[in-house]
A and B are shown apart, each in its own frame.
Chain A
Amino acid sequence: MAITNTNSVVASEAKEKLNIKEFVRERPEIPLAVGLLVVFLVGWEMIVRIFDVPIIMVPAPSDVYISLIDNLTSLSFLKHFGVTFSEVVVGFLLGASVGLLLGAFIGQFRLLEKTVYPYIIAIQTVPKVAVAPIIVIWFGFGVESKMVITAMISFFPVLANTIVGLRATPAEQLELLKAYTATRSQIFFKVKVPQALPYIFVGLNVGIVLAVIGAIVGEFVGAQAGLGYLIMQRNFSMDMAGTFAILVVLSAMGITLHTIIQSVQKRVVFWMDANDDNIMGV
C-alpha cells in the first residue's frame, strides 16, 4: 500500500504521460481487463453483423445498449426493478439476520452444533429452486414469496460461516482471556465475535449474490412484477435485446450490493486486508 502511495505522489509531479505509464506498471490488470472487454464486445458485434445473426437469436451489443437506454428511461421498467431490488434486499436482510442469530446460538454449544448440523446440511442439499413452487403456493404470487425464497437461499452461507468463524479464535487468545479471569460472555463478545467477523462477511458476500438468484428464480415460478417476470415476458415476445439488457441490470445490481458489503467489511474488519484471501469461507 505504502509503495503505491509514494509512487502515485511521484507520478503526479511528473507529466501526464508518465502518470499513465506508472499506472499501467503498477496495475497492469486494469487496462488488460478493459481491453479484454472491448475485444469481446467488438468481436461479438462483428460476428453478429458479418454472419447476419437474426436479432431474435443473438442481439448485437449495440442493440442491447439501445434497449438498455430505453429501459432505464421507462417508468414501468424502473417499477419492475424496484420490485426485484426490494425482494433481494429484504430477503437477504431477513435470511442473513436469522443465519447470524442462529449461527451465534448454535456456535455457543458444541453439542447442539453436532446435533443439528447434519440436519442443516440435509436441508441445504435440497435445491431451493425445487422448493420455490411450494413457497409460491404458501406465500402467494406477490413479493412475499420471493422474499422468503431469497431469505432461504442467503441464510445458509451466513449461518455456516458464523458457526465456523466463532470456532476460529486462536487457542492462545482463549487461554489469555481465561487466565485473566474472563467470563463466558466476555470471551464471546471480546474475542470470539471479532474473530468471527471476517468469516461472517464471507458469508454475507456469498449470500448477497445468491439473493439475486433467489429473487429471479422466485419470479420465474410465478409473479406479477419484477425483472425475472419481465425476462419471461420478453422471452415470449422474442425480445432478445430486452432480455440481455435485463441481464446487464441484474449483474450491475449484484456487483453494487457486493461492493456495498465489501466497503462495510473494510470499515468493520479494519485490521484485516479485505483483499486478503486468507479467510476461506464455507
Chain B
Amino acid sequence: MLIKSTALSKIYNSRDGESIHALHDINFSIEDGEFVTIVGPSGCGKSTLLKILIGTLGKTSGSVAVRDQEIVGPNRDLGIVFQAPVLLPWRTILNNVLLPIELQGQDFAKFNQRAIDLLKLVGLEGFKDKYPSELSGGMQQRAGICRALVHDPSLLLMDEPFGALDAMTRENMNLELLRIWSAHRKTVMLVTHSIPEAVFLADRVIVMSARPGRIVEIIDVDLPRPRNLQMINSSSFGQYVAQIRTHFDLSEGID
C-alpha cells in the first residue's frame, strides 16, 4: 500500500476568526501503480488534500502516510504537476525538466539522457533547447509532466493539470498521460473538476463534496485498458458519469 489516509481533517482559521472545515474525516488508501482521480466541485478541498500529500501544507488532525511514513514535509519520491506549467522562463526546456535533479543534488549527467527520452516520449525532443515562451500551453504542460517524472518518483500528484487547456488539447493530453502511465507505471493521483475526465483516466474515482470537504463515494471504474476516446460514448462510461453526477445534482452543480 502506497498512501493511507485515516480520519484526516484540515481546518483553516480565516481572518475574521471563523474556522473553515476544508477537509473532514478523509479516509482512503491507494495501492502501488494505481491511477486514482479526485473529482468534486470548487471548494471541496481537493487541492488542499493534494497540498497535504505534497507536504507543503500541514494537517489539523488524523493521519496520512506514504509507505507507513507519516508525511511531515516535501518528499523526494514525488512528482508534481500543477494547473499552470510553472516553467522557469530563463531555463531551456531541458533544464526545466532537469530542475528536480538539480534541486536534489543528483548527478546531472546520469539523468540527462532520461530527460531527453521523456521529452521524446511526449514529442518535444526537438524543443529541448528552446525557452518556455516559444512553446504553446499544451507543449509547456507536457514539459511539466516530463519534469515531474525525471527523477523517477513512485508517486505522481497532479492538480487539475489540463484545466487551462482547450477541449481538443485536453483529450489528447489525457491519452498521452495514459500512454506515459502505461510505459512507466507510476501511482498517479489526479485532481480534476471534469467528471468525464475523472472516469476516463481512473482505476478509481474519489468523489468529494464541499462544506465541509469530505469523500462522498469511491467508485471503481471497471473499463478495459488501454482506453480510447470511443469508450466515452459507451453506455458503461455514461453510467459511471451519471453515478458521480447524482452527488452534485442534489446539492450544487459542479463548478
- A residues with CB within 8 A of B: 170, 172-173, 175-182, 186, 190-191, 194, 270-272
Contacts and interface: CB of A to CB of B under 8 A. Distances in A.
A186 B103 contact: yes
A177 B74 CA distance: 10
A181 B76 CA distance: 7
Interface in B168-223: none
Given A271-B131, A271-B133, A179 B90 contact: no
A175 B90 contact: no
B99 A180 contact: yes
Contact of B86 (A176, A181, A190): A176
A180 B56 contact: no
A175 B56 CA distance: 8
Nearest to A271: B89
Given A172-B82, A172-B84, A186-B103, A180 B74 contact: yes
User: Interface on chain B toward A: helix, strand, loop, or mixed SS?
Assistant: loop
Nearest to A268: B90
A180 B56 CA distance: 10
Contact of A182 (B89, B103, B131, B133): B103
Contacts of A173: 86, 88
B228 interface: no
Contacts of B55: 179
Interface residues of B, number: 22
B90 A180 contact: no
Nearest to A181: B74
Given A172-B84, A173-B88, A271-B131, A181 B56 contact: no
Interface in B62-105: 73-76, 78, 80, 82, 84, 86, 88-90, 99-100, 102-104
A191 B88 contact: yes
B78 A179 contact: yes
Contacts of B103: 177, 180-182, 186, 190
Contacts of B104: 180-181
A179 B76 contact: no
A115 to B, nearest CB: 24
A175 B102 CA distance: 16
A172 B103 CA distance: 16
13 contacts: A172-B84, A175-B56, A176-B80, A176-B82, A178-B56, A179-B55, A180-B103, A180-B104, A181-B104, A182-B103, A190-B102, A270-B90, A271-B90
Nearest to A174: B56
A172 B131 CA distance: 19
B156 interface: no
Contact of B74 (A178, A191, A270, A271): A178
A182 B89 CA distance: 18
Contacts of A182: 103
B129 to A, nearest CB: 14
A188 to B, nearest CB: 13
Nearest to B104: A181
Contacts of B88: 173, 190-191, 194
Contact of A179 (B74, B84, B131, B133): B74
A191 B82 CA distance: 17
A217 B27 CA distance: 72
Contacts of A179: 54-56, 74, 78, 80
Nearest to A183: B103
A179 B99 CA distance: 12
A89 to B, nearest CB: 28
A176 B133 CA distance: 19
Best-surrounded residue of A172, A175, A177, A180 (most CB of chain B within 10 A): A180
A171 B131 CA distance: 21
A190 B103 CA distance: 9
A249 B90 CA distance: 38
Contacts of A180: 74, 80, 99-100, 103-104
A194 B80 CA distance: 22
A271 B131 CA distance: 8
A179 B78 CA distance: 8
Contacts of A272: 89
Contacts of B89: 271-272
Interface string B113-143: 0000000000000000001010000000000
B56 A172 contact: no
Contacts of B80: 176, 179-180
Contacts of A186: 103
The 6 closest A-B pairs by CB, nearest first: A271-B89, A182-B103, A180-B100, A181-B74, A271-B90, A180-B103
Best-surrounded residue of B80, B90, B99 (most CB of chain A within 10 A): B90
